[in-house]
Structure 1
Amino acid sequence: MNWAVSMYLSSMVFLMIGSVSCIIGSLNMMLNFNITVIEWEIFSLNSCNIVMTLIFDWMALMFLGFVLLISSMVLFYSGGYMAGDKTLDRFIYLVLGFVGAMVALIVSPNLVSILLGWDGLGLVSYALVIYYQNEKSANAGMITILSNRVGDVAILLSIAIMFELGGWNFIYYVGSMGDNMLTTSLSLLVILAAMTKSAQIPFSAWLPAAMAAPTPVSALVHSSTLVTAGVYLLIRFSPMLVNEGVKSFLLIISCLTMFMAGLGANFEYDLKKIIALSTLSQLGVMISILALGFMDLAFFHLLTHALFKALLFMCAGVIIHNAKEYQDIRSMGSLVECMPLTSMNLNLANFALCGFPFLAGFYSKDLILEVAFLSWVNYVSFLLYAAATGLTVCYTFRLVYYSLTGGYRLSSCVSVSDDSFLMTGPMWGLSVGAVFAGCCLSWLIFPDPYLICMGWELKTLPLMVSGLGALVGYMLNMMNVSDVIKSLFFYKEVVMAGSMWFMPFLSTFNLSSSALNLSVKVQKSGDGGWSEYLGGQGIYMYFISGSRLIQIAQDSVVKLFMKVFLIWVIVMMIFIF
């Protein structure tokens, strides 16, 4: 056994043991209402203490257990998917670094230490997106890291604002801050950071572009790590979201995001991008219910979504790997005849995604919709909720059509099967989670059930829009209405809906031309110009010239004193003699 394979197996086992330990610890803390805070004093200089703080409560340990569980499944899956890769050890290092950065972010109640995990996620995600080292990957990595830098700056500004509170352990302050200017500024900056990391409008373009990374990385990124970091940060800061204007802004942005992503997924033909847009839609669901004040529901959906989304990406990776890296769903059909196990798990994850009764997504998503309909939401948000729910089921049944029915369209030279145990094995564990995790988590997180009283119109609305979306999604694809020739009649509308409302074009245009050119001018005139002239270099030259003047003056005074002294001595000698 070579070193790379040995490291691969030991990492997988270690992550699985850590996952089981964290989940057991979370259940223990949930039962006993315990929170453990560890402070490690790195060093002390005079009265300044540099302290590393870690928090272990039921929420952090539960999320940590799910992250480690999915990471171990992804590493197991990578053994088959990346088997022919010559740099498998580098890939394992990057994945483990990615998981380590997420762990640092989860257990940190301190904004300074959170920045380490936050920046670590951005850096390692850039390295993973450009893993295949081609032009497409380079462009995707550039838009990914530049979009996330906006959130990094927002975190830095939040650290500066929290300096006014006397410390950076936000866990001690967020519950007691009232509705004032400091709280509003801090909440807006945290929301901006979460919007960039969780790809909300107008920062949504990087998330589908990040599909240039290997599929195991996509399964990890889109389920429980990178894109959920913003949601987790907002959950931690949720007691601070007290300003109604800020909450309304967050609600309308998240509702627009889930509607835009659902609409774009119905016009997309790339299998991985369809699943990426579904992730974007579910992130909008989480942030929207969080904006309404239901932090526990957002965390519940975060956990259930992690399981079936990782399963969905793994199934897509098996299909793409067997189809010789071909990702166009129009070239697929009747996959159930050749890949029954993968097709079964794919559609199980799809049904959990659209909230099929008694699967994992049903317990969280149905509860979120009912609570949202029962809350004081504006009419636009209500319509966007209903439309996004229907669009989710619509693109789900679009994938059902291309995976279960239709003619076999793959090349005769392509042999597709479920032979690889390394890729199909992890599906069993995640499929069990996609079926049973919803009910188990609902019993744990909500021991007292929600009492929801609403009319039959609102109660049956999710079921009606889901049924309508399923019918439209299946029938339109069966009739080939989305064919290229037929879509030319509505070319402008199709282009706008299928291109995420031109967001990738606007993002790359602004980043490549306007924003970067402006930043170069500001850098030349600011950082490299006046700030240098009046700042570091200017002060240095001022001190140098000043010290020279002082030296000249001192030299002149000494010479003058010696001349006067000699003249005085000569005069005194003349008078004496």
Structure 2
Amino acid sequence: MTGHSSKRTVGALPDTTAESSSVPGALTWLVWSLFAASLAALVARVRFGGPWEVPAVVAVDGLTVLMWVVVTFFSGIVHSYSRRYMAGSAHETDFFLAVFGFTAAVMGLVAADHVALFAALWLAMGLLMAELIGTVDGWPQARAAARVARRSFLASSALLGVALAALWWATGATTVSGIVAADGLGGPVWVVAAAALVLAAMIQSALVPFHGWLLSSMTAPTPASALMHAGFVNAGGILLARFAPVVTADAALMLGIVVVGATSALLGKLLKAVQPDVKTELGCSTVGQMGFMIMQAGLGFFGAAVTHLVLHGFYKAYHFLSAGGRVEHTGPTEGDPRGTSLAGAAVVLATGLAGGALFAALTGKGTGLDSGLLLVLFVVLTTLHAARTAVDHASLPRTARYVAVPLVFVPAITVYALVYEAVTGVLSGLPVVSAPTELSALHVLVAVGFLAVYVAIETGVHERSSRLYVALVNASQPASDTVLTATEDYNEY
């Protein structure tokens, strides 16, 4: 900074021992109580099963209780973290009310059976998240980010409304359970409904080209970002799982879902590579991970999509809440040259192939000529990427890395496969949990294209193109009025 200003912008933190509202403490206690109750409901559901419903209003199934546990756990972490993070803020009470309201809306959404209730809670969920993004009302960039997000969420809600109205028109059912149980879905009305459902899921999960709202939301308080990336963006996968019989009615639509998911997975990976700051890098990672989730749904493995969103939620919540610890100054270091040696490449390849084979053996996926082969392929690629990162960057001697990588990743794949099987078991009461499609030439073409681009990214081919770099930087720019320009614009002290 140059020049002189008499305005004091940096000073002591607020006195957190002064009088404060009892709302944060009460809501934190309440959300952890809801987590305990949700855990009990999950155990009871697994052990006793049976219909839990208020006819034509709510219906509690395996997906409901699983999401209750996940959402209340993440919300409890965010509430507890925010007790210190928001201490002394003038917006503390409003923030906690919005976080708890969001939690309640999601819990209601996954239990809602009447289409009007489902649509209303989807809208409420989006509006509350937009409010969290713009928590600091005196900060122009935060309010602008909230407006960007609100427009996207209203568009998603409008598309969902169109889909539900079209499905009601086609089936005569006013409940989600009635719609998914209807026979003979098809025709022009179904096309409108299915397309609107997929677009609503894409917007909510920030898939390309609808990722702008997510990358513009970096003004949100860190705990709100954690809740957004760990929970809110997963709603697209929940929507497709809940309406699985609608989207699985046509193989062409399912292939289209695979294509949009694969595109977002690859572009999210590329966008992440050009980010200079931690939070935006995590945001681009979310774009890619949501692409993988939607792609799994398109392959017909809704249990895998739900497993992915649960595990991604844990991963992303941890990384956002610990983002401050990743901000550090780095410089050149001595040691192994950057890149993977021939021996390292062999270890990585063997680990990836072993991981894919183990996943196939434990889950039974990929053992026939169907879309399960592509699911196993993506498991192999994910394992290869993680193993290569560990081989290249782990703080261990080279030989120790080569030994440690398979010893770590093979058990990790085992755990993933067992979690997948457990989640599939919990979801067993849903109309469609697994609906693998027969492999076609188009599936093979998509797989080959995905593999080619993935290998090019892993080998750094994209880094040699200045035009691509500029295009990626431009594609990852947030809305201009949400960009922070000067410290004085947002420093409260």
TM-score, with length taken from structure 2: 0.70
Aligned to 2:470: 495
Contact 1:259 1:387 (8 Å CA) reproduced: no
Counterpart of 2:230 in 1: which secondary structure?
coil
Distance across 2 between alignment mates of 1:73 and 1:127: 20
1:301 matched to 2:299: no
1:72-471 aligned within 5 A:
72-132=76-136, 133-164=138-169, 165-181=171-187, 182-224=189-231, 226-241=232-247, 242-316=249-323, 318-319=324-325, 331=329, 371=365, 376=370, 385=378, 389=382, 393=386, 438=416, 441-442=419-420, 444-446=422-424
Distance across 1 between alignment mates of 2:480 and 2:226: 25
* Cα distance, 1:115–1:394 mapped onto 2, change above 3 Å: farther
* Cα distance, 1:333–1:87 mapped onto 2, change above 3 Å: farther
Contact 2:168 2:179 (8 Å CA) reproduced: no
* Cα distance, 1:113–1:333 mapped onto 2, change above 3 Å: farther
What's the offset of the Cα at 1:228?
Answer: 1.0
Residue identity in the other structure for 1:137:
A
Distance across 1 between alignment mates of 2:147 and 2:377: 31
Q: Cα deviation per residue 1:292-339 (whole Å; 9 max; x = unaligned)?
A: 1111111122222211221111111x427xxxxxx6x6x3579xxxxx
Aligned to 1:531: none
Distance across 2 between alignment mates of 1:148 and 1:77: 26
Between the two proteins, the alignment pairs up a number of residues equal to 404
Structure label with greater radius of gyration:
1
Contact 2:173 2:179 (8 Å CA) reproduced: no
What's the offset of the Cα at 1:443?
Answer: 5.4
Distance across 2 between alignment mates of 1:435 and 1:395: 15
Q: Cα deviation per residue 1:23-63 (whole Å; 9 max; x = unaligned)?
A: 22122212333231114xxxxxxxxxxx6x11211220111
Q: Which of 53, 56, 61 lines up with 1:57 in the alignment?
A: 61
Q: Cα deviation per residue 1:245-302 (whole Å; 9 max; x = unaligned)?
A: 1111111001000100011111112101111122221111111111111111111222
Higher relative contact order (CA 8 A, sep 6+): 2
Counterpart of 2:65 in 1: which secondary structure?
helix
Counterpart of 1:210 in 2: which secondary structure?
coil
The sequence identity of aligned pairs, in percent, is 20
Residue identity in the other structure for 1:25:
A
User: Where do 5+ consecutive residues of structure 1 fail to align?
Assistant: 40-50, 321-326, 335-353, 406-433, 453-460, 510-577
What value does the CA root-mean-square deviation take over the aligned residues? Answer: 4.4
* Cα distance, 1:26–1:437 mapped onto 2, change above 3 Å: farther
* Cα distance, 1:94–1:303 mapped onto 2, change above 3 Å: same
Aligned to 2:8: none
1:538-553 aligned within 5 A:
none
What's the offset of the Cα at 1:198?
Answer: 0.8
Aligned to 1:9: 25
Counterpart of 1:37 in 2: which secondary structure?
strand
What's the offset of the Cα at 1:111?
Answer: 2.0
What's the offset of the Cα at 1:215?
Answer: 0.7
* Cα distance, 1:179–1:116 mapped onto 2, change above 3 Å: closer
Distance across 1 between alignment mates of 2:473 and 2:255: 27
Residue identity in the other structure for 2:119:
L
Contact 2:35 2:69 (8 Å CA) reproduced: yes
Aligned to 1:525: none
Residue identity in the other structure for 1:198:
S
Aligned to 2:343: none
Counterpart of 2:54 in 1: which secondary structure?
strand
Residue identity in the other structure for 1:296:
G
What's the offset of the Cα at 1:396?
Answer: 6.5
Aligned to 1:421: none
Contact 1:304 1:437 (8 Å CA) reproduced: no
Contact 1:140 1:210 (8 Å CA) reproduced: yes
Residue identity in the other structure for 1:250:
I
What's the offset of the Cα at 1:169?
Answer: 0.4
What's the offset of the Cα at 1:442?
Answer: 4.0
Counterpart of 1:145 in 2: which secondary structure?
helix
Counterpart of 1:34 in 2: which secondary structure?
coil
What's the offset of the Cα at 1:167?
Answer: 3.0
What's the offset of the Cα at 1:127?
Answer: 1.5
Q: Which of 35, 50, 67 lines up with 1:34 in the alignment?
A: 50
Q: Cα deviation per residue 1:58-92 (whole Å; 9 max; x = unaligned)?
A: 22011111100110111111122223423211111
> Which one has a larger percent helix, Structure 1 or Structure 2?
1
What's the offset of the Cα at 1:232?
Answer: 0.4
Counterpart of 1:22 in 2: which secondary structure?
helix
What's the offset of the Cα at 1:134?
Answer: 2.9
Contact 2:180 2:246 (8 Å CA) reproduced: yes
Residue identity in the other structure for 1:54:
V
Residue identity in the other structure for 2:152:
S
Contact 2:359 2:413 (8 Å CA) reproduced: no
Contact 1:262 1:391 (8 Å CA) reproduced: no
Aligned to 1:68: 72
* Cα distance, 1:249–1:442 mapped onto 2, change above 3 Å: closer
Distance across 1 between alignment mates of 2:395 and 2:322: 13
Contact 1:122 1:145 (8 Å CA) reproduced: yes
Distance across 2 between alignment mates of 1:299 and 1:378: 16
TM-score, with length taken from structure 1: 0.60
What's the offset of the Cα at 1:397?
Answer: 6.5
Contact 1:266 1:391 (8 Å CA) reproduced: no
What's the offset of the Cα at 1:491?
Answer: 2.6
Q: Which of 31, 41, 58 lines up with 1:25 in the alignment?
A: 41
User: Where do 5+ consecutive residues of structure 2 fail to align?
Assistant: 1-16, 333-347, 397-411, 429-433, 437-446, 482-493
Counterpart of 1:168 in 2: which secondary structure?
coil
